[in-house]
Amino acid sequence: MDFLLDGLMQAARLLTGGDAETYSAIMITLQVSTLSMLCSLLIGIPLGFSLGHFEFPGKRPLRTLVDTLMALPTVFIGLLVYAFLTHRGPLGHFGLLFTLPGIAIGQTILALPIVIGLTATAIESLEEKTRVTLLSLGANRRQLFLSSLWEARHGVLSGAIAAYGRVMTEVGISMMVGGNIKWQTRTITTAIALETNKGQFGMGVALGLVLLAIAFGVNLSVSFLRRKT
Amino acid sequence: MQPDGSIYEIEALEHIYAGRSVLRIEQLAIEAGGIVGLVGPNGSGKSTLLKLLGLIEKPSRGSLRFRGKVLDPFAPRARHHVTLLPQEPSLMKRNVFRNVAYGLRLRGQTDQLEARVQEALSFVGLPAEHFARRPWYALSGGETLRAALAARLALKPRVLLLDEPTAGVDAASAHLIKDAALRAQREWGTTLIVASHDRPWLYEVCSDVLQLFKGRIFGTGEETVLFGPWERFTDGTWGKTLSDNQHLRIPEPPGPETPAVVENIILGETDRNPSPDQVHLQGVVSRLNLAQKTGRVFATVLVEKLSWTVPLTQEQVLHRSIYPGKTVTIQYRLDSMRWV
């Protein structure tokens, strides 16, 4: 087990010494996950609200579909997005394969069912009397939407965190759609996979620690937000 | 042509929940600035009517007009003037101040926000210095209800709809709630529409009382409703035998369980030549209520366990010395009964 200890020490050196390759993977991960989270929240929250708030024919099957898609395997998304973005694919002319926006598309698909499903659950769990309260105080459609989301904020936030956790830690999409190109599309997880294959445990451990630290930071700020509101 | 001063007009309205008709009103006009009471058993359609009037729901059929115009539920023209305090109101997950200020902020009325919230809180007996910063979960049931009412009063609404505003709260809270609602009506001309089981209070303050049953308005609350099952007596007449061996007689009912409405019940003289279409029953006065607007008195008479509402004049009360506990004979005519 010495390699783990060595890895930890090497990790400390890489992180404190500002190793360019390590920091490149960290920055790329942050960029691409931020982009994909922004997209999935912007699309997913209104869809999740609609799914939770309105009654319409086919709502239950749709709900089951969304719940099923929460378990989509990342390599399968990677495969699909690759097939669409490759130069022979229907979206090939956009030249998005092996780019960060390409990875973000795949990660958005990964996060979307989680954001939609958990937002819908949070909105459904609001009691009918919350809706009556908001309407009786004069809320219009937009205000009803925003205030309901605010009332269900803890549930929506949990959905966002769950989605962020999956996006940050996935390997399949980044590897297949991003191509793991050093300085360009190499993320923390693809870097760990590569370095481990090469026997370079130090960088792998360093990057693993950074992933943990990011997860810790996100959860810490969320629990702070929860206490404040 | 709309009647003068009507704030609401309803025509051929029907509301359907899960395929079942829960409210049907052919015609109804509610005068602006008055106090209207809604009475009726649970499930009679009071809350549904309030939700429709409060623009929370849209009627399945028919027309509902507010100040002469058909309502679009999300049009601010009506939405900003009408507010409902639902049964079991909830506060939003924010402090009392932000709950009370919410409606004002929605309307963009943020001038003197603090003062208006304070005024609304003082109306319901929740001093702002003690309550404004409290979170929603740090209030008792009565305080929650009063804070919810303050959130409505802050809007100075044209119409305030109250759904069982005093059910399940302590006497002090109930008193403050009633007082605040009446003050709004008095000071701002707010039209109050109140559903309540507190009949004495409704008779005391309301300009009109509407009785609902099975989704229909069938009277002014002065009627007595009798419930089946009905039996056919050996002489061919219908009714039920009460446990004290009195016979409650009714005309032939359309169904064995159809409830009957009795109107024009009077205090009778004991058994002087009863005509065949008159029914006399003996009971005990359990309560006297005064309708302050009309000066009429309503006696609640218990015949066995059935409660009858008997309108009286003040002279009758005085001269026949009617008081709770007194045994009296009530009288009604079979042809004065209707079915609901």
Q: State how far the alpha carbon of A150 is from the alpha carbons of A45, A124, A127, A141, in Å.
A: 12, 13, 14, 14
In this prediction, the residues of chain B whose per-residue pLDDT falls under 70 are 1-4, 73-74, 269-274, 292
Query: Which residue of chain A comes nearest to B107, CA vs CA?
Result: A138
B140: left (phi over 0), alpha (psi -120 to 50) or beta: beta
ipTM given for this complex? 0.81
How many Å apart are CA B47 and CA B220, to the nearest integer?
17
First to last CA, chain A: 45
Query: Which residue of chain B comes nearest to A130, CA vs CA?
Result: B90
The CATH class of B224-339 is mainly beta
Query: Which residues, in sequence order, are CB contacts of A100 under 8 Å at separation 6+?
Result: A28, A31, A32, A35, A178, A184, A185
Q: Which of B55, B90, B155 sits opposite A127 (nearest CB)?
A: B90
CA atoms within 13 A on the CB side of A136: 34
* Residue B231 DSSP SS3: strand
How many Å apart are CA B225 and CA A208, to the nearest integer?
75
- Helix runs in A99-140, H state only: 100-124, 128-136
CATH superfamily of domain region A26-228: MetI-like (1.10.3720.10)
Q: pLDDT at position A12, please?
A: 85
What is the CA A9 to chain-centroid distance, rounded? 30
How many Å apart are CA B302 and CA B207, to the nearest integer?
26
Q: Do B92 and A139 touch (CB under 8 A)?
A: no
Q: pLDDT at position B3, please?
A: 43
How many Å apart are CA B239 and CA B248, to the nearest integer?
5
Structure tokens belonging to residue A186 = 């190499």
Q: pLDDT at position B2, please?
A: 41
Nearest Cα of chain B lies from the Cα of A143 at a distance, in angstroms, of 8
Q: State how far the alpha carbon of A228 is from the alpha carbons of A130, A223, B93, B240, in Å.
A: 21, 9, 12, 64
Q: pLDDT at position B271, please?
A: 56
Q: pLDDT at position A187, please?
A: 94
Q: Do A137 and B106 touch (CB under 8 A)?
A: yes
Structure tokens belonging to residue B224 = 């007595």
Print the SS3 string covering B11-45. EEEEEEECCEEEEEEEEEEEECCCEEEEECCCCCC
Q: Which residues of B touch A150 (CB under 8 A)?
A: 92-93
Q: Which residues of A touch B84 (CB under 8 A)?
A: 132, 136
Q: Which of A136, A137, A141 sits opposite B74 (nearest CB)?
A: A141
Q: Which of B51, B93, B103 sits opposite A137 (nearest CB)?
A: B103
Q: pLDDT at position B73, please?
A: 65
In this prediction, the residues of chain A whose per-residue pLDDT falls under 50 are none
How many Å apart are CA B199 and CA B37, to the nearest integer?
9
Q: Is B6-219 a CATH 3.40.50.300 domain?
A: yes
Q: pLDDT at position A183, please?
A: 93
Using the 8-state DSSP alphabet, how is residue B120 labeled?
H
Chain A residues with CB under 8 Å of a chain B CB are 127, 129-130, 132-141, 143, 147, 150-151, 153, 229
- Hey, where are the domains in chain B? 6-219, 224-339
* Residue A196 DSSP SS3: helix
- Residue from A171, A198, A203 nearest A187 by CA: A171
Using the 8-state DSSP alphabet, how is residue B2 labeled?
P
Q: Which of A127, A138, A150 sits opposite B106 (nearest CB)?
A: A138
Structure tokens belonging to residue B32 = 């602006």
Best B93, B98, B109 residue to mutate vs chain A (most A CBs within 10 Å): B93
> DSSP readout, B60-112?
SEEEEEETTEE--TT-HHHHTTEEEE-SS----SS-HHHHHHHHHHHTT--TT
